[in-house]
Amino acid sequence: MRAMQLERVGGPLRPVQRPVPQAGPGQLLVRVLACGVCRTDLHLLDGEVAIPQLPRVLGHQIVGEAPGGGLVGIPWLAWTCGECAYCTTGRENLCPRARFTGRDVDGGFAEWAVADERFCFPIPGGYPALQAAPLLCAGLIGHRAFRMCGGARRIGVFGFGAAGHVLCQVARHERREIHAFTRPGDEAAQAFALELGAASAAGSDEAAPASLDAAIIFAPDGALVPVALRAVAPGGTVVCGGIHMSDIPSFAYADLWQERTLRSVANLTRADAQEFLALAPQVPVETHVHRYALEAANEALADLRAGRFTGAAVVVPDHS
Ligand SMILES: [Zn+2]
Ligand SMILES: [Zn+2]
């Protein structure tokens, strides 16, 4: 099969021919129809998130055809131990032995992929593979971050990319207000946020139009943490939604005081995936995707880094 593999930190991904992987006991072999591109893929490529062993096929938002037909989704969480203090208390996302798709096991920038069937999910009916792919990380880790905001009515979203564009639709469905903050001057992302129903959209260097009840930071920029803390009202929460961020500059305790909460979100649980994949068709979430051929995965990653598209990038292998 054809695959795009990472051979050394810094990349690029290299197109290679590899044997089609074989499904072991309890595993599914799926024909990859689409695989979303995530900012985490950039962090893996850049070495900001370590990969235990190279070469590795990246890609953890896989939609494929299962052996019996039907679409299955393969997310970032590939395996957990099931025995540790985290796994046995509903927090398998924090399992210290967890394995992740496209980091510890090969992912979806390939024609075929295998996955532990206990960590695969049926794709809700009506979603073509291309549209479903971004639900699997942008959608469901974004949703976990959104849930960490509790009952917040007015939520700021810093970095309006794939996760923001899904979350905005869910928030609107729940009659909550989203205020989008983009890279300063990114008018395309701001217009896109307003199109999706955001109450306001501005550069992250601009003041929030109103005091926020919560904020989620998807942009990997630690300097946004104090900015977001200052934008939330007393008692508000700031959630960091990414796997990696640049260092957070020091800030005055007054920015945190008055019971503001600062927290991160890590990975996902299978319960998150079930909850979000049941919710998405009710909204219904419509993803805006930019399609790239498998061989153009490096281009997709470069476009994501440069902010050259709105919505989500998806890599699609040509099986013909
Ligand atoms: Zn991801
Ligand atoms: Zn565990």
Helix (H) or strand (E) holding 14: strand 13-17
Distance 48 CA to ligand 1 centre (A): 14
Distance 124 CA to ligand 2 centre (A): 28
pLDDT at position 59: 98
Distance 102 CA to ligand 1 centre (A): 10
pLDDT band at 302 (very low <50, low <70, confident <90, very high): very high
Distance 16 CA to ligand 1 centre (A): 23
Ligand number nearest to the C-alpha of 100:
1
pLDDT at position 68: 86
Distance 38 CA to ligand 1 centre (A): 5
Q: Please tell me the pTM assigned to this model.
A: 0.96
CA 110 to chain centre: 19
Distance 113 CA to ligand 2 centre (A): 24
235-280 per-position pLDDT tens digit: 999 999 999 999 999 999 999 999 999 999 999 999 999 999 999 9
Ligand number nearest to the C-alpha of 268:
1
Buried b (16+ CB within 10 A) or exposed e, 145-171: bbebbeebebbbbbbbbbbbbbbbbbb
What tokens were used for 28? 């599914």
Which residues contact residue 71 at a Cβ distance below 8 angstroms, ignoring those fewer than 6 apart?
A: 33, 63, 64, 65, 122, 123, 127, 129, 132
